[in-house]
Amino acid sequence: MIKRTCTCGQLRLADCGKQVALAGWVHSYRDHGNLVFVDLRDREGITQVVFNPEKDPQIHRLARSLRCEWVIAVEGLVRPRGQGLENPKLPTGQIEVIATRLQILNTAKTPPFDIDAADKTNEETRLTYRYIDLRRPCMQHALRVRHRVMMIVRQFFDSLGFWEIETPMLAKSTPEGARDFLVPSRLVRNCFYALPQSPQLFKQILMVAGVERYFQIVRCFRDEDPRADRQAEFTQIDVEMSFVDSLDVMTINETMIAKVWKEIAGVEIALPIPRMSYQQAVSEYGTDRPDLRFDMRLTDVTDLGHQTDYKVFSGAIQTGGIVKAMCVPGGSQRYSRSDIEVTLTRFVQDLGAKGLSWCKVRQEDGQLGLALGAAKFFPDTMQRELIERFQAKDGDLLLFVAGPQQIVNKAIAPLRCKIARELGLYDPSQFKFVWITDFPLLEWDPQEKRYQSVHHPFTAPLPEDMDLLDTDPTRARSQAYDLVVNGCEIGGGSIRIHDINIQRKIFRLLSITDQQAEDRFGFFLRALEYGAPPHGGIAFGLDRMIMLLLGTENIRDVIAFPKTQKGQCLLTGAPSEVDQRQLDELNLRVQRHLQQDGPVV
């Protein structure tokens, strides 16, 4: 067998005159009768190989039988391509290899899709034949970047004295939050393990154990519906530290993020990354994941709503709602009445809002005023105040959403981003980072009629808000922090509760009885009784980080073997039925439900 001496992306003009050996896949071939040209591909690139009958007629005849995706090895002489024949799109485009030996290592069926045109192939086909899809240079690049990020992260934390420690994949189900994936136990009948949603409790126990600095690149599982930016099976960079406060955790981890972005994307992130309170983020951007690449902040104009009898505003205010607005620069020219009242209005209605009010800023006789839309309902004093608050200019567009606060923010925040994207108000290649801090510790769930954790039950409250736990729990703030970039949360963490009495108090506020706490978290509570240090940490979504670094909007593009939006692996056919013997060993019985298309497990 021919042993390769270099990769298909390695050779340059300086290598001319060398005898080399290459191996890879036939990316393309061109039979010109007298000469056969093959673009040979491996994971590092492509090299053009030429088969000349004058050099060796037998090898030339064999080369004429080659087809795309056959696996071959060649030996030959590196020479410069003729003048005007260079390929500037390839790093190896100035040279070619004149073959003197050819070995067919394996043949291949015709691929189900053209690798060069895979972007025109439906995703279902690409995922079914993932081994073909992963041969594409862009997918190879994604895997390479993912590897590099993981190596940077490991080297960074190792240099600071962190230990990478594996935590169990088969753990205890602690139903609080997303649904667990359950694994039946064969040895302990009628009992189940849970695949970890995160190593949260284990990493806190490592702090009790005196490890002090831990990290792990870990697989996690949540039985949730996959989306474009979420998979049921995902990878996170998990970090925990002892004897720290929020600033310590944020400082170390933003340095790690800056190192990754510098080495992978060549982007310098100015440190420290700005901090913004949850209150400010929701007030000015309608979300705790603000996109700061453009301005166009939101403004609460509920106070001005009292100056008008416009029922859309007055009705919302009377029922305890708010009115929020934004000023779209130059929006009067960009959006017609139809655009606003059909397209944009339908957009916010799909997000739960009743509708969208609007008016345009116009200058007449040297004076700015409001016209069209809802302007006729606004008295002159209100118009002047709106123009002043927004520093509005001639040609701007004011948009308003009224209703319950949660629904208003849910609708107007995405509208802000949609308009900015359509108007090109930011550079898509830009990265804007921000830490969001001072989250509420708890929120009231009207359906469950109980408090729920905004992050998780092990998040510590701010010391100055401890008394609010007894008087007004929803006003208590937490020592939590999220890292957001371009409107996408890539990491979140907190200082943890290390006092067992505070932990029990939080459980009770969450309507978790002492017995339920013992059943679910008894092992953890016992650990807190044996000298738990102050500690905190964070977890980053590795898949989302790679998405952002590569500029893709589909998380499946950065995972080697992803699941579909139905949670299926089209490559292997998982999930699948198992035979009865396996079920019997696990003491399990499946229940079949009759549906219109027949019985299903």
Distances (CA, A) of 386 to 301, 372, 558: 8, 15, 45
Are the CB atoms for 192 and 183 separated by under 8 Å? yes
pLDDT digits (tens, 9 = 90+) for 565-590: 899 999 999 999 999 999 999 989 88
Nearest CA to 78 out of 3, 20, 10, 9 is that of 20
Give residue 69's pLDDT: 97
CB-based contact 374:358 (threshold 8 Å): yes
Omega before residue 57 within 30° of 0, cis: no
Q: Residue 230 and residue 152: Cα distance in Å, rounded?
A: 23
In this predicted structure, the answer to whether residue 266 has a pLDDT above a threshold of 50 is yes
Beta-carbon contacts of 120 under 8 Å, excluding residues fewer than 6 positions away, are none
* Domain architecture of the chain: domains with CATH: 13-106 (2.40.50.140), 140-169+206-275+433-499+534-558 (3.30.930.10), 294-423 (3.30.1360.30)
- Element spanning 138, H or E: helix 137-159
pLDDT tens by residue, 207-228: 999 999 999 999 999 998 877 7
Q: Is the pLDDT of residue 352 over 90?
A: yes
pLDDT band at 592 (very low <50, low <70, confident <90, very high): confident
Asked whether the beta carbons of 214 and 237 are under 8 A apart, the reply is no
Residue in this structure with the two tokens 């339908």, named with its chain if needed:
346
Ordered alpha helix ranges (H), 391-483:
405-423, 468-471
Distance CA 313, CA 356 (A): 11
Q: In angstroms, what CA-CA distances link 49 with 26, 72, 224? A: 10, 11, 49
Residue 594 has pLDDT above 90, yes or no: no
Q: Is 382 helix (H, G, I), strand (E, B) or coil?
A: helix
Cβ burial, residue 214 (10 Å; 0-12/13-18/19+): buried
* Residue at token pair 């090895």: 73
Mean pLDDT value of segment 34-55: 95
State which amino acid sits at residue 534. Answer: P
- 418-471 residue pLDDT tens: 999 999 999 999 999 999 999 999 999 999 899 999 999 999 999 999 999 999
- Residue 250 to residue 437: CA distance in whole angstroms: 10
Burial 353-375 (b: 16+ CB within 10 A, else e): bebbbbbbbbeeeeebbbeebbb
Residue in this structure with the two tokens 């602690």, named with its chain if needed: 174
Return all residues near 544 (Cβ < 8 A) that are at least 6 apart: 229, 488, 489, 490, 555
- For residue 42, pLDDT over 90 is answered with yes
- Is 8:22 a contact under the CB 8 Å cutoff? yes
Contact (Cβ atoms closer than 8 angstroms) between residue 308 and residue 379: yes
SS3 140: helix
pLDDT-derived band at 601 (thresholds 50, 70, 90) equals very low
pLDDT at 600: 46
φ and ψ at 237, to 5 degrees? -90, 110
pLDDT value at position 591? Answer: 83
Q: Which residues face 21 on adjacent strands?
A: 75
Six token digits for residue 88: 């500037």
Query: Any idea what DSSP says for residue 523?
Result: H
The string of pLDDT tens digits covering residues 156-178 is 999 999 999 999 999 999 876 68
Percentage of the residues of the chain whose pLDDT score is greater than 70: 98
Q: pLDDT > 90: what percent of the chain?
A: 90
Cross-strand bridge partners of residue 435: 275, 483
Phi and psi, residue 383, nearest 5°: -60, -45
- C-alpha span between 37 and 211 (Å, rounded): 59
Q: Pull the structure tokens for residue 410.
A: 């849910």
| Cα end-to-end distance, the chain, whole Å | 50
* Res. 595: pLDDT tops 60: no
122, two tokens:
């439906």
